[in-house]
Amino acid sequence: MKTMDSTIQVRRSGERSPTRPNRTLRLFAVDASLFALFIVVVNVPLTGLAIHEWLGIVIAIGMVAHILQHANWVVTTTRRLLSATSLQNRVNYLLVVGIFIGFVSIIASGLLISEVALPWIGVTPPGAPFMLWLHLASVGWVIWLTTIHLAVNWRWIASASDRLIFKRFARSGGTR
């Protein structure tokens, strides 16, 4: 029987295999945390520099988790690029490569201009006007790439939110 899970997981010509509810929950938890962290970290005046830097480092750890969760996707799609695959898959692959380079660039340049986190562990980073420029410029285009990344995955986000949040809420009679 085709479950709701397989419906929300098998997308874009079956690139993702049907998975268990726990996997959906784990994916959703990491995605939602990354999104929330990104919104907070991008608003530096909201948090101050110290929290900005520490949360920026937490995002780096979250990104590693996010990429590990999609290791199969990376391997399968890279192989497919070498054979015949749709233009849509190729464009999405380029988008993912772009967003990956963007986040590496933000976090590496952030560490190199760090005024709080690295000095706290006894390392004085070199800092440089170019690194500051790179940090801010990368943020500029990563915001756009992340928006497109979320738009591409919108159907998954809507289905998973519906099942994990709204249906649970409805089952509990809206009391929690």
Interface residues with ligand HEM (CB under 6 A) are 27, 31, 34-35, 38, 41-42, 44-45, 49, 52-53, 56-57, 59, 63, 66-67, 70, 73-74, 92, 96, 99-100, 103, 106-107, 110-111, 113-115, 117, 132, 135-136, 139, 146, 149, 152-153, 156-157
Give the residue with the Cβ less far from ligand HEM, 161 or 170.
161
Residue 162: CB minimum distance to ligand HEM, A: 14
20 secondary structure, DSSP code: -
Give the residue with the Cβ less far from ligand HEM, 1 or 156.
156
Residue 84: CB minimum distance to ligand HEM, A: 19
Give the Cα separation of 70 and 76 in Å (integer).
Answer: 10
Q: Which residue has the tokens 């998975």?
A: 19
Give the Cα separation of 116 and 134 in Å (integer).
Answer: 19
Give the Cα separation of 21 and 160 in Å (integer).
Answer: 10
162 secondary structure, DSSP code: I
Most distant CA atoms of the chain, gap in Å: 59
Residue 135: CB minimum distance to ligand HEM, A: 6
